[in-house]
Each structure stands twice: as structure tokens, then as C-alpha cells.
């Protein structure tokens, strides 16, 4: 059975990502008052310079992201090249835009048929400890959805099981777990998971509807 893509899932990512702006100083102060004053003044200047650099990097990353995203929607766009451009821009971007650029690059790569590139980018986000857990879990979910084959079903189940237990992507993770059971030929487990989804009022209607359609197909 083919695995349906949840192509709209990536659009749920909040583009207003938090950026870490904390600069830690681990030096000991000593000496005369004049030396301390010079150090403090230099520190203030350095902090302002750091903020300016961070703001400049964030602005440049935002401009690159928006321009590339617009280009993706143009007729005849080279999706493979645009995905690579987004991935490259993420290397120098602040944390928030690095995460966003990689997620978008992965989605564009998948649309272009560049499966390995997409999976690699999702794995990069999932392994990035600086990224918010919401987006790390989303990346894991998207990896599982696109990596799913009969050969990878057990690995997908192992990685998505924690997401299915709790968290904002719980319903979608449970849906992928049902598909994973189908992929490895365990129809009984798949049927149980789909039935649980279809009867759970806390699950979004779209997920329940797909679960019901899959059940009907299995029973038909």
C-alpha cells in the first residue's frame, strides 16, 4: 500500500521562531578600578556589536528564506536547486531561521523527488539540540512519513513511538504508526491503530477521516 503524503503539515510551522540572543561571559575581573571600567565599556560595546551582527544575520536569513520561498512557487522553478539554496543558507543562519530553512528545504527536496536529501535535512533538524522540541519532533514525524517502506517500518515505529504517546504531533504520529504496521504486513495491528484513531474525539477530523477510509479499504 502506498503512503499518502501529509504535504500541508509543514505549513503549520510558526515562522516566528525564537532566536537565542544570550552572550555568556566567563572572565574574572581584577586589578584596578580603571582597568575594570575599561573592560566594562569594552563589554558594552562588544554586546552591542554582537546584537547588531545577530540582527544583520537574522535579516539576511529572512530575506533569503522569503525570496527562495517565492521562487519555489514560480512556474518551472528548479526545486532541486532551490532546496539546495535553502539548505546552504541555513548553515550561516541564526537558530530559528536555520530550523525553518532546513524544514522548508526538506519539503522542497521531497517535492522535487530528492528523497535522500529531504530525509537528511529532516534528520539534521531532529538532531539539532538548539532547535525547539516542537520542530525537532515535526522533523522526526516528516522523516518517518517519507522514509516509510516495508524495510524501514520497524525503525519508523521505534522513532515515532514517543511522539505518538504524547505531544502536539501525537495524532499524526499515530497515523504514521498505523501505516507502518500496514507496510510490514501486520494488518491486525494496523486495524487496531486505525480503529483507535477513528474513535478518538480528540483526534483532528482529517486524521479520523483518513483512518476510517483506510479501514473501509482493508475491510473491502
Tally of structural domains, the chain: 2
Q: Is residue 1 part of a domain?
A: no
Q: CA-to-CA distance for 194 and 214, rounded, in angstroms?
A: 8
Q: What is the mean pLDDT of each run of 10 residues along the chain (220 residues)?
A: 36 34 34 40 45 55 71 77 84 78 88 93 94 92 92 96 92 92 92 93 88 81
| DSSP string across 164-215 | HHSSTTHHHHHHHHHHHHHHTT-HHHHHHHHHHHHH-TTS-HHHHHHHHHHH
Does any domain span residue 137?
Answer: no
Instruction: Judge if 38 and 124 occupy the same domain.
Output: yes
User: Is residue 112, in this structure, part of any structural domain at all?
Assistant: yes
Q: How far apart are CA 10 and CA 105, in angstroms?
A: 11
Distance CA 178, CA 215 (A): 11
Q: Give a yes or no: residue 136 inside a domain.
A: no
Question: Are 188 and 124 part of one and the same domain?
Answer: no
Which pLDDT belongs to residue 61? 62
Whether residue 46 is found in the same domain as residue 93? yes
DSSP type of residue 112: T
Q: What is the pLDDT of residues 162-198, one digit of tens each?
A: 999 988 999 999 999 999 998 999 999 999 999 999 9
Domain with 177, as residue range(s), is 148-220
Using a pLDDT cut of 90, give the percent of the chain over it: 36
Element containing residue 118 per DSSP (H, E): helix 115-126
Say if residue 39 is in the same domain as residue 125.
Answer: yes
Out of 83, 104, 131, a domain closes at 131
Pair 63, 90 in one domain:
yes
Residue owning grid cell 552591542: 48
Percent of the chain beyond pLDDT 70?
Answer: 70
Q: Both 125 and 157 in a single domain?
A: no
Amino acid at each position: 500500500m502506498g503512503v499518502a503524503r501529509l504535504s500541508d503539515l509543514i505549513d503549520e510551522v510558526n515562522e516566528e521562531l525564537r532566536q537565542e540572543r544570550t552572550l555568556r561571559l566567563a572572565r574574572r575581573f581584577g586589578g584596578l578600578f580603571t582597568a575594570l571600567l575599561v573592560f566594562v565599556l569594552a563589554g558594552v560595546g562588544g554586546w552591542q556589536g554582537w546584537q547588531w551582527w545577530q540582527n544583520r544575520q537574522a535579516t539576511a536569513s529572512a530575506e533569503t528564506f522569503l525570496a527562495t520561498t517565492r521562487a519555489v512557487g514560480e512556474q518551472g522553478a528548479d526545486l532541486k536547486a532551490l532546496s539546495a539554496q535553502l539548505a546552504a543558507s541555513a548553515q550561516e543562519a541564526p537558530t530559528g531561521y536555520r530550523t525553518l530553512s532546513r524544514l522548508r528545504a526538506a519539503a522542497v527536496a521531497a517535492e522535487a523527488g530528492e528523497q535522500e536529501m529531504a530525509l537528511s535535512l529532516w534528520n539534521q533538524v531532529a538532531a539539532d539540540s538548539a532547535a525547539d522540541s516542537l520542530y525537532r519532533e515535526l522533523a522526526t514525524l516528516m522523516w518517518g512519513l517519507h522514509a516509510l517502506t516495508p524495510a524501514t517500518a520497524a525503525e519508523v515505529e521505534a522513532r515515532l513511538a514517543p511522539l505518538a504517546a504524547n505531544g502536539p504531533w501525537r495524532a499524526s504520529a499515530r497515523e504514521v504508526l498505523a501505516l507502518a504496521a500496514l507496510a510490514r504486513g501486520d494488518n491486525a495491528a494496523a486495524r487496531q491503530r486505525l480503529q483507535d484513531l477513528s474513535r478518538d474525539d480528540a483526534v483532528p477530523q482529517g486524521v479520523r477521516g483518513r483512518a476510517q477510509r483506510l479501514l473501509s479499504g482493508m475491510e473491502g
